[in-house]
Each structure stands twice: as C-alpha cells, then as structure tokens.
Structure 1
C-alpha cells in the first residue's frame, strides 16, 4: 500500500542506532529544512571567510589612514615606546579597516644600506598581507633615532607608494 507523503512526519528517528531525531526528506517541510540548513551553513562559512581576510580596498584604505594618523601628531619612539615598524602596524590595526579577526599585517623594514639611490634621511617599510598581492612601500622621515634608554618625540612624514620599495 502506498503511503501519501503528506502523512510523513517532519522529523523521524535516526536509523543510525541513536535515539536522535532528524529531518524527514519525504516530508516537504523536512525537505525545506534540509535545504535551508545547507544554505545557512554555506552562507555562514562564506561570511566567516570574508570577515577574516583582507581585500585590496581595505588594505589600501588602512595603509593611507595609518599614514595620515602617524603624521597628525608627534610620535613617541624610544626604549619602551616602540619603533617605526610597530607604530605602522599599530596604526594600520587601529584604522578600523580590514578583518576583525584572523589575518595579520606584515610590516618589514627595507635594508637600504647598499642602495645609493635611497634617501639618507628616510626609513622604508613594506606592508603586506597573505590575502592580497599588493605591497605598499612607506617612506618615513626623519630616520628613526638611535636606540636610547629615554623616549623621544618625533614629527614624522610618511609617503605611501603602491609597490615594493625599489
């Protein structure tokens, strides 16, 4: 005898030897709940991936915002205050751009010791992430003061170029 699918319950006992209930694919409501659950899971995974990685625009905005922030007021450098590299990284993180969790920004100082074309009064840093291919070159002047046990206030000027430091 053929049973009408409208008589099927929305939930049925699992046939895997447990006493749990599962959606019943023979019921139209159960089938809708199965599809809805799958769509919700895919959407949640997409959202989590998008909210934990940098986009090109977010990195661009964060780097330019950090440059403006660093130039806006004198910066304290020295023994406990940190260096230019950490100041740049902190300013990018404080910009409000980018992912709320997950991916980090890499700030690395460029060694210009053997570059005759590099300005003598400029420290250069490359800013990148694992999520985007774009690398930004930040030129910070004046050069970072030599390490001392005391801290020094410095008015910095920051230039941003959208390429590796050449």
Structure 2
C-alpha cells in the first residue's frame, strides 16, 4: 500500500531542535495554512502602513479644520503655553483627520532677511511625510514677544497651497 499525501499529518515536530509543532508542507492542508499565514501577514502589514501615512486629501482636510478651529475662539499665549507653531500642530492633531501618529511638520517660514515681507503676518508651512503638498498659513496678528503675562489673541488665518 502506497503512502499518499492524505496520510501525512497537518502538523509535524520541528526539525530545528525544538519540540514545537509546525505546519507540514507535504500535506495539502498544511501547505494551504502556510500560504494563508503568509498572505494574512502581508495584507496586515500593508493595511498597517496605509493607516499610518498621510494622503493629500487628509492633509488638506486637517489644515482647513485646524484653521477653522483656531479662528473660532480666541487663543491664549503665555510663557508656558507655547508658540504659534505648537498651537497649529496641536490643532492639526486634534482635527481628527489623517493617521493618529506622527508624520506632520509645522515650520516657521518667516525669512528675517526678506525686506518685502509683511510685518503684520507670520508665515508657517505645514507638510506631512509621504505627501508632496505643502500648505502656507498666513497668521495675523504676528506672535507677540514672549513675556511673563498671558495674552489672548483672535487669529485670522489664510491658507494657500504651496510653499510660502
């Protein structure tokens, strides 16, 4: 009587010196489990990557929601509450758009050597990893000089796509 594939067990002891059981590639069910496990791992890793990266639409929506929220209520700046950069970054993270972790960059885009720059506006660039789009935020009034008192400001923000 010849031994067929159906006589092979689905699980066999590992040949690597351990007493673990592993899938048997000589059994059709074991081979299916091996292929299924690899496919499941690949799909899981791909979906994990897709959820952790920004898209252009998500960045655009996050910027517009953050601007709306910053303009809606007066903002308080003080010696311990941070700057416009941290205020904008916090509003972008609270917008609920895009991945919940990292990849977002807010930078001060004011050029101190630009004589044509409007002194009544501070410029900030918003970018995200995996996205080529940059948004320029023109914030007025300019950030007050830091001192030991808190200042409440009502912001007016203009959004433009592209670098400042």
TM-score, normalised with respect to structure 1: 0.93
Identify the residue that residue 129 of structure 2 maps to in structure 1: 130
Q: What is the CA-CA distance between 1:164 and the residue it aligns to?
A: 0.4
Q: What is the CA-CA distance between 1:62 and the residue it aligns to?
A: 0.7
Contact 2:78 2:147 in 1 (8 A): yes
**Residue 151 (1) aligns with residue 150 (2):** yes
Identify the residue that residue 86 of structure 1 maps to in structure 2: 86
Identify the residue that residue 62 of structure 2 maps to in structure 1: 62
> C-alpha distance in 2, partners of 1:18/1:145?
67
Q: What is the CA-CA distance between 1:2 and the residue it aligns to?
A: 3.4
Identify the residue that residue 47 of structure 1 maps to in structure 2: 47
Contact 2:138 2:158 in 1 (8 A): yes
Deviates more, 1:114-123 or 1:143-152: 114-123
Identify the residue that residue 141 of structure 2 maps to in structure 1: 142
- Tell me the alpha carbon deviations over residues 105-135 of structure 1, each in whole angstroms, 9 at most, x when there is no partner: 1111112333343222100001112221111
Please, which runs of 5 or more residues in structure 2 have no aligned partner? none
Q: What is the CA-CA distance between 1:84 and the residue it aligns to?
A: 0.7
Identify the residue that residue 160 of structure 1 maps to in structure 2: 159
Please state whether the residue corresponding to 1:106 is helix, strand or coil. Answer: strand
Identify the residue that residue 104 of structure 1 maps to in structure 2: 103
> C-alpha distance in 1, partners of 2:17/2:108?
61
Identify the residue that residue 32 of structure 1 maps to in structure 2: 32
How many residue pairs were aligned?
Answer: 164
Please, which runs of 5 or more residues in structure 1 have no aligned partner? none
Please state whether the residue corresponding to 1:34 is helix, strand or coil. Answer: helix
